Chains A and B, each alone.
Chain A
């Protein structure tokens, strides 16, 4: 095979890739994206399959049968969890403008620059072996293909000087290609639509190439699957490969590989970049969940046949199993197929290198270099007008450097291991991100110190148990390091740490590094303090599904100006892009231009998020806080800002209100209680008075009755007298009881009223007639003076007569017998009629004018004067008159008689005549 054929084929393939990427970017700029498609998304995820898959799987299968497969089963299982995990990561990343794994971890743990830097270092160191394996695969396949039709294995790596080493040139070429590919301009979202399109294409190419050679071997060279396996079963050394080794160690290895690949499918920088950062639409996850595992299945179906075919075809072990995919078609004189295979392998390698180095260079720029540069006072970076050129330059140098390092690792350590073993070193490295990321997504108490401790411990143990031994195996570190341990201490043997033997290297490394990682993460988080930013970020990440889109209080205090923020953004994004972003934001807030916006916490947050897309969230935080005059918040102050505090305040307001209401109710209750007690007292008085009044006549009746009983032969006259007294007292008692009942009925409103229209004149005349007997008995004169025309009123006739008769009988009672005179006058007023009953008795002292209307109150000294009435008459009269809507009162002076008056309204009160 002519060298130039291979070179031309390679360059044309790379050219096609470049063209696709260019087209994809152009369409993205126009807004007509070609990658907004779940099939493209799923295919692009297949960047997981690199030269490792293409060449290395066969090599692994040749030595351990199906032991190559767990690397693909792990991602299949993980895909089932994407619905929960990947969706959450994507949602968090979109919300926080996260553009890389280092950014994710740094942002989650309080926008910590140091953590971002650590993650970047781990990622770069960890991925370098992986890159070197791609270089090894491409350069080896290139060299082998050049020898067609002879099959000659490449020379040992160290023997070829660098400048004659094709791998070196391939590394440089890949660096140049990647720089051209991915660093043409700076995008605030770190999206590279063209790259995604190209990756999807190359996934197809490698699948087609592999399936072609697989089909060729299986059906061309042999007669199908059954044929190959039959023959393998026949060959002595091969049938051992048909099953897994019986020792538990093999199952342990199997599980470790599954576990580590489950983590890698998410934590590899290129996987994070493609599945999270480049994700266009969350719904694409649905198809990817099963399409991606299907791709893995398809590309692995022919691995075993090729491996067995190669083992049977090259039985003496002269051909490296990692090259079977290429050497088999070469051995069968299929140059076109061999060239296709080479291009397929190139495709797999370039895909990985492009995405991985772009992702790594982003991390190096944003999370490692920029923070250091920003800190350095001498550079005065915060005053530079335009930093986008600087950013791009940093990234380009990072890409070149990473590829160079990959080449050097290849020279140093590439010889000792098969491809898969090299790759597993990287898998174990990125697995260290697992606890920090998964813990960060679900455990709010995971904090920066814990993450830092965990990552450091895990990384250290990984380096000690996996990375350094790989140098020792290649001779760059003394073998005594492996055999006797560090400083000769047996417990520190890197492959049997603390005496743990019986595990293969990967399981051993995973066990110790995960133990240290998770242990330090949990212990560190639980025993150290958490800052304000960490807590709010933890909440933002873990609760990302519960949060509303915008709003809520921002944990920020300071003063800013819109112009300063805009100037800051335009330094990194360029003035046009910054202006567009700001104006879009302004429109969502209801202002037309961003200069009209208030420089509040929301604007600062927006600016910071936008900037984070360009330089990472940790650096963005630094830049923004240096621009605005920020005041650090203490925990106490934050509690005032947070909602919880306002809830507490609202609650205490409610409590205050409740207690006030309670006081008012208590006061009312107390007043009611007082009134009740008063009424109770009055009731007690009433009862005691009534019983007293009732007892008095009863006593007389009993006394006189007893006398009569004891002395039946007494004097008739005296007996008459006594009987008379008894009768009178009984009458008095009856009267009293009647009046009490009457008054009770009147006061409780249960009396019956029969209202009718009547003439007051008539009523008075009738009353006079009714009491004429009384007057004649006592020889008291009655005079009436009434106008002839008296308007009719509506009242209860009987009750009215009761009142007038009562007044008159009172008057008679207090007149002197003989010259007593009772005058009755009726006066017609405009609003009311007034009746006056005047007598010329002894009169009533002024202080008694009101009290005589009290119950049981009689004028006169109760001790000396015999009670003449019940004391209830006047109260009853007043009740009755009051019921009709009138008033009753008395005018009197001692010695000059008394005048009892009452009024009756001419129009009866509405409330009175209820009957």
Chain B
């Protein structure tokens, strides 16, 4: 898969970043009910990070040629 090994590696990196973002250590940091625009911080973080991850995945996979 040499034609897209960079793409594969970037996506692999995104995978690991996601794994870190959505699990214990980082998740714990945001685990509070403080409100961000009226939305609890935990929810805002998870959904926001999720949306961002999806966006970056889209960029990497569509743009990298």
Contacts and interface: CB of A to CB of B under 8 A. Distances in A.
Interface of A: 66, 69-70, 73, 76-81, 83-84, 87, 224-227, 229-230, 233, 239, 242-244, 246, 248, 251, 254-255, 258, 286, 289-290, 293-294, 297, 301, 304, 545
Given A66-B46, A73-B22, A73-B46, 10 more contacts: A77-B15, A87-B1, A229-B35, A242-B43, A244-B31, A251-B24, A290-B54, A290-B55, A294-B54, A297-B54
B56 to A, nearest CB: 9
14 contacts: A70-B22, A73-B46, A77-B19, A77-B22, A80-B18, A83-B4, A84-B8, A226-B35, A243-B32, A243-B40, A254-B24, A258-B19, A290-B62, A297-B51
A243 B42 contact: yes
Interface of A: prevailing SS: helix
Interface in B14-36: 14-15, 18-19, 22-24, 27-28, 31-33, 35
A229 B42 contact: no
A623 B55 CA distance: 50
Contact of B14 (A69, A80, A224): A80
Given A77-B15, A255-B24, A230 B33 contact: no
A286 B12 contact: no
Contacts of B32: 243
Q: Which 8 pairs between the two chains have the least Cβ-Cβ distance?
A: A226-B38, A290-B58, A80-B15, A242-B33, A251-B24, A77-B18, A242-B40, A80-B11
Contact of A76 (B4, B27, B39, B54): B54
Nearest to A70: B22
A41 B27 CA distance: 32
Contacts of B50: 73, 76, 293, 297
Contacts of A293: 50, 53-54, 57
A233 B33 CA distance: 8
Interface of B: 1, 4, 7-8, 11-12, 14-15, 18-19, 22-24, 27-28, 31-33, 35, 37-40, 42-43, 46-47, 50-51, 53-55, 57-58, 61-62
B24 A80 contact: no
Contacts of A73: 18, 22, 46, 50
Contacts of A243: 31-33, 40, 42
A76 to B, nearest CB: 7
Contacts of B27: 244, 251, 254
Residue from the set A80, A224, A230, A290 with the largest chain B CB neighbour count within 10 Å: A80
Contacts of B61: 83, 286, 289-290
Contacts of B46: 66, 69, 73
B42 A251 contact: no
Contacts of A258: 19, 22-23
B12 A84 contact: yes
Contacts of A244: 27, 31, 42
B12 A81 contact: yes
Contacts of B35: 226, 229-230, 233
A875 to B, nearest CB: 77
Given A76-B50, A79-B57, A290-B57, A225 B11 contact: no
Contacts of B22: 70, 73, 77, 258
Nearest to A82: B11
Interface of B: prevailing SS: helix
A233 B62 CA distance: 41
A244 B28 CA distance: 9
B13 to A, nearest CB: 9
Residue from the set A69, A301, A545 with the largest chain B CB neighbour count within 10 Å: A69
A353 to B, nearest CB: 29
Residue from the set B32, B46, B61 with the largest chain A CB neighbour count within 10 Å: B61
Nearest to A224: B38
Nearest to A291: B58
Contacts of A301: 47
A225 B57 contact: no
Contacts of B23: 251, 254-255, 258
A230 B4 CA distance: 47
Nearest to B28: A251
Nearest to A304: B43
Contacts of B8: 83-84
A361 to B, nearest CB: 34
A285 to B, nearest CB: 9
A80 B61 CA distance: 9
Given A77-B18, A84-B12, A545-B1, A289 B57 contact: yes
Given A77-B18, A229-B38, A290-B57, A297 B47 contact: yes
B16 to A, nearest CB: 9
A227 B35 CA distance: 12
A323 B53 CA distance: 31
Contact of A80 (B31, B47, B51, B57): B57
B49 to A, nearest CB: 10
Contacts of A66: 42-43, 46
A752 to B, nearest CB: 71
Nearest to B24: A251
B62 to A, nearest CB: 7
B50 to A, nearest CB: 6
A83 B64 CA distance: 12
Residue from the set B4, B12, B24, B55 with the largest chain A CB neighbour count within 10 Å: B24
B39 A83 contact: no
A9 B40 CA distance: 39
Contact of A225 (B4, B24, B39, B42): B39
B19 to A, nearest CB: 6
B40 to A, nearest CB: 5
Nearest to B35: A229
Contacts of A224: 38
B4 to A, nearest CB: 7
A79 B38 CA distance: 31
A248 B37 CA distance: 29
A76 B37 CA distance: 26
A84 B18 contact: no
Contacts of A230: 35, 38
A286 B18 CA distance: 18
A788 B50 CA distance: 124
A258 B21 CA distance: 12
Contacts of B33: 233, 239, 242-243
A76 B24 contact: no
Contacts of A78: 15
B29 to A, nearest CB: 12
A246 B55 CA distance: 30
A248 B7 CA distance: 35
